[in-house]
Amino acid sequence: MRGGGWLEGVLSTYIRKDGLDATSKLVDMVKGSKHYGQIRVAMLSGVTMGGFNVVDMEELYRYTGIPVISVIRRPPDMDSIRRALENLSEPGQRLEAMLRAGDAIELSSRRGKPVYVQYKGLDADIALSIVRSSSLHSRLPEPLRVAHLIATGIILGDSRP
């Protein structure tokens, strides 16, 4: 998307549920896209997707050269995450990838409740100002709100807010 404005393209890929391939699949998806040269920032709704397939934000930044921002509505609950990881292969590798995302900064939003921001490849003040200026219609930046509507609309038939 162009900031909080209009949609320019949609990318999609497949990852394994509870797998270890989220980072490499995202790197390939972004670098293989015709939009690659134009993308200034990549945004994530948290670093876990498809169950506990963890995106390593540091690797994603390093291999794409594109700064990465993750925005979530609740601070990560590391205790319950540690417990959940015990039931999966490679718990140490997953936990390390999660920790490499860094501390989440609480950012108050104009809508009352705050969001929590992690970032790689750019300064904190720039990351926060990007989140703030792209959050137009909800607490979340437009690219994340729209990606969520698309994903739920395709999978469930009717999108969920």
Footprint on this chain of a copy of itself (rule: CB under 8 A): 6-13, 29, 32-35, 136-137, 142, 146, 149-150, 152-154, 157-159
**C-beta of 69: minimal distance to a copy of itself in Å?**
20
The backbone torsions φ and ψ at residue 120, rounded to the nearest 5 degrees and listed phi first, read: -140, 135
**C-beta of 79: minimal distance to a copy of itself in Å?**
35
The backbone torsions φ and ψ at residue 16, rounded to the nearest 5 degrees and listed phi first, read: -85, 135
Q: Which one, 60 or 98, has the nearer CB to a copy of itself?
A: 60
**C-beta of 150: minimal distance to a copy of itself in Å?**
5
**C-beta of 82: minimal distance to a copy of itself in Å?**
34
Cβ–Cβ < 8 Å for 41, 130: yes
Q: Which one, 4 or 91, has the nearer CB to a copy of itself?
A: 4
Q: Is 152 helix (H, G, I), strand (E, B) or coil?
A: helix
| Maximum distance among all Cα pairs of the chain, rounded to whole angstroms | 42
Q: How far is CA 124 from CA 9, 10, 44, 45, 141, in A?
A: 27, 27, 16, 17, 16
Q: Which one, 35 or 62, has the nearer CB to a copy of itself?
A: 35
DSSP string computed for 94-123: HHHHHHHT-PPEEE--TTSS-EEEEEESS-
Q: Which one, 34 or 110, has the nearer CB to a copy of itself?
A: 34
**C-beta of 74: minimal distance to a copy of itself in Å?**
24
Q: Which one, 8 or 77, has the nearer CB to a copy of itself?
A: 8
